[in-house]
Every structure is written in C-alpha cells, then in structure tokens.
Amino acid sequence: MAQVKGPKRISRSRGGDALMYFVMFFFGIIFAIPLYYTVLTSFKPLNEMSVFPPRFYIVNPTTENYTLMLRLLSSSKIPFSRYLANTIIVTIMGTTGGIIIASIAAYPLAKHQFAGKALMYNIIVWAMMFRGEVASIPSYLIVAGLGLFNTYWSIFLPAWSGTGGTFMMRQFMEASIPDAVVEAAKIDGANEWNIYWRIIMPNVKPAWLTLIIFDFGAYWGATGGSYIYKEQIKLLPTALGMITGSGASRAGAGCAVGVMMLVPPLILFLFSQSAIMETMSTAGLK
C-alpha cells in the first residue's frame, strides 16, 4: 500500500456498496410513488380518473387539468399574474434579507468571545422549542401595533426574527472554520466585515446554499395568513388554495396546482445542489 501516490483512501468494499445501493434504491422507490401518482393524476383525463381498478398509467394523457387550473385562476378578481408576481417579490426579498441578517449574526456567535454569548446560545435553543400557538397572539398584536398589516413586512420581520437560520449558520461556521484562519486574517489586517464576507461566507457556501433552499420553499408557500387581507397583495398559495380546497371533483386540477407549487422550488434546489456538489470537490480549508 505504501507505493500509492497522493492522499491515502479508505477502502470501499463491494458488499458494502451493494447493501447501500439496495437501501437507497428501496427507499427511493417508496418515496417516488406518491410523487409519481401526483404528476400522473395531473395529466389524467376526467374519464380515467375514476376507473376501477385505479391505473398506474394513463391511456390518453391530457393537459386539460392545467388549462382548467388557468381558467379557474383567470376568472378571479385579480389577474393570476399579479398573485405570481407578488409571490416572486416576497420570495426573493425574504430569502436574501433573511440570509444576510442570519449569517451576520451567526459569525460573532460562532467565532467571537463576548459577554452573554453562552446565554444567547441557550436562548436560541430554548426559543426553537417553544411552540408558537399562544405566542402567536402577542406576536399578532405586535405586528398590528407596528402598523405592518397589509405590508410584506408582516411576513419578513417575523420570519427574519426566527432562530433556525441563525443557529444553522452558526453551527456550520463552528464546524468548518478553524479559529486560526480567523486570527490569521486579523493579523493580516482584515476588519470584521471583510472576514465575514471574504473568509467566513465562502467557506460555508454549502450552508447558505442550503438555507436558500429552505427559505425559498417557505416563502414560496407563504400565504400571508392573517396579516394580509388586501386582494391586490395576496400571494399565490392563497389563490391556488381555492382550487385544491374543492376536493375530489377537481382532483386533476388540484394535482396540477400541486405540481406547479412543487416545480419552482425543485428547480432552484437542483441548481443550488449542483453548486454544493461542486464546492465539495474543490473545497477544504488548508
């Protein structure tokens, strides 16, 4: 073995490979079935919807469910494009703002020494375990008191105040950046903002790419709940909810809606995932 050039590798046995592929394949199939059935149903014509026994394939695939969905949406008071534009704006602004705020706060929590740091860490962990049902009433009153109703700030500010993103970024900075690197940068004369932007963030790229996926998914599905009731600024899921809410009679259109809600986050997911995989092959702090 001593003559092997380059970094030494830990061996991978054939048996281990086989076991792993079997497990991944087995669960992969199980996970795929409901997704497959959703996509399938969205292309099913009405007369195949209630065939007995139910079919796992389509004889005459159709896009009529998608046109029905669009027809239902275009008959609404506000044009469909408006709901879509609203959701796109909220998703982009919410995700960007949230990640910047969370990662700037995570840096001192991971790499600085200051009074109250341990307490802050504990409060974050505790807050993640407090169920929001009852806190949602005071929270609602605060949002109302600040006059944020019918503005997207009522979505952004409570979301940005969340502990999840900050805590996750902190955990990654702690795990993957040695203190020595931060100190070396400081000795070279970098200020804290430079360290954050040029040392920390590039080295936790998989973390914020992952956070982008979470946040995008959350904002894309956000309804604005009880804070937004002006029709012009309502979001896409609110409009689509009216279709999925109508039950089995519109199962096809409902599935079309489901597919439409799933596809954009998944496309983004594919992009960011391939970026993460790319980092994996080149990354590594020396």
Partner 1 sequence: MSLFKKKNSAVLERNRPISYVMLAPWAILFIVFALIPIIIAVFLSFTSFDMLNTPQFNGIDNFIRMFLDDEIFMIALKNTLFMAIVTGPAGYILNFVFAWGIAESPKNVRTILTLLFYAPSLGGSILFIFQLIFSGDSYGLLNGFLLEYGLIDSPIQWLTDKQYGWGIIIFVSLWMSCGTGFLTFLAGLQTLNREFSEAGAIDGIQNRWQELFYITLPQMRPQLLYGAIGTISGSFGCGGLNAALTGNPSTDYYTHTLSLHIGDHAFTRLEMGYAGAMCLVMFAMMLFYWFFVNKGLQRWSTD
Interface positions, 56-95, toward partner 1 (CB under 8 A) = none
198-217 positions binding partner 1, by CB under 8 A: 203-204, 206-207, 209-210, 213-214, 217
Q: What's the N-to-C CA distance of the chain in angstroms?
A: 25
With residue 168 as reference, give the H or E element that holds it. Answer: helix 164-176
Report the C-alpha gap between 31 and 172 in whole angstroms.
28
- Type of residue at 76: S
94-153 positions binding partner 1, by CB under 8 A: 101-102, 104-105, 107-109, 111-115, 120, 123, 125-131, 133-139, 142-143
Report the C-alpha gap between 72 and 164 in whole angstroms.
37
254-273 positions binding partner 1, by CB under 8 A: 254-255, 257-259, 261-262, 265-266, 269-270, 273
Does residue 231 belong to the site contacting partner 1 (CB under 8 A)?
Answer: no
Q: What's the closest the beta carbon of residue 67 comes to partner 1, in angstroms?
A: 19
Does residue 234 belong to the site contacting partner 1 (CB under 8 A)?
Answer: no
* Nearest Cα to Cα of residue 66 among 250, 221, 223: 250
Q: What's the closest the beta carbon of residue 237 comes to partner 1, in angstroms?
A: 7
271 alpha carbon, distance to own chain's centre: 13
Three-state secondary structure readout of 65-82:
HHHHHHHHHHCCCCCHHH
Site for partner 1 (CB under 8 A): how many residues?
113
* Nearest Cα to Cα of residue 257 among 273, 270, 272, 242: 242
Are the C-beta atoms of residues 182 and 111 closer than 8 Å to each other? yes
Q: What's the closest the beta carbon of residue 233 comes to partner 1, in angstroms?
A: 20
- Residue (3 or 129) nearer to partner 1, CB: 129
- Residue (130 or 232) nearer to partner 1, CB: 130
Report the C-alpha gap between 166 and 182 in whole angstroms.
19
**Contact with partner 1 (CB under 8 A) among 158, 185, 190, 233:** 158
**Contact with partner 1 (CB under 8 A) among 65, 87, 95, 166:** 166
Q: What's the closest the beta carbon of residue 198 comes to partner 1, in angstroms?
A: 15
